[in-house]
Structure 1
Amino acid sequence: MGNLCGKPSKSDPFSQPGRTVGSAPPPSTAPRATIPKTTTTTTTTQGQNLGGPTTAAGDNRDEARRAAARAAEERAAKASQTKGKLEKDLAKQKAQTRVGTLENVSQEERRRRDVDQTAQAVFYN
């Protein structure tokens, strides 16, 4: 496909001789930069526990558990607070029991059966 809005290139990429897929790339004329080798040093010191040094190993764990429990209680308290009318309505809908809705459905179903039975009685007589 040609370039619609650009200028035509001065050199044709196919005018140069090509190479096969398995052949090596042509040598570069630019000098390569060499990366100096670094030496690695290893140390055999014992690592430090996160949270800094402690007198007893369980102190930090207990403190972390208390902080996590406190944060969970705060989240639960925020979640239980109602904020507006829409949220109150949604809470009401969630509080409706399935039994209440089933009772309404069963009453409608009984009425339909009664109407059907009366209609059958009228048509057969």
Structure 2
Amino acid sequence: MGNICSKSANKPDNFSTPGRTLGSSAQPKPNSTTVPPKITASTPGRALGGRDGASSSEDARSAAAKAAEERASKANKTGGKLSAQLNSQKKQTQNQLLNSRSEEERLARDADERVKDRNWN
């Protein structure tokens, strides 16, 4: 009922008027531009960072083979102590992992109880 009794001195809502339709604005449409012609090169491209002369496909193949060997050697390289622990945990089943964790927790609780008993006396 509040809308019926409102005063006309209130500012009208921005969305109460119908507004404009698409394309009825007075803004000029931009002129279309021409598409630049495609540039075609008659010579093949060069590899960046290489030697000044043209490189043969054998050099590219040997470089790719060398890079693949380096990646394979890095993948097979054994890590340090943490990676060994991670690999041993990956090999364990879930029950074995849970049992080892619970045993560690039991040992930690026993050690805490011994310290508590020692300090009590």
**Shorter-chain TM band:** 0.3 to 0.5
Structure 1 length-normalised TM: 0.43
Which of 1 and 2 has greater Rg? 1
Structure 2 length-normalised TM: 0.44
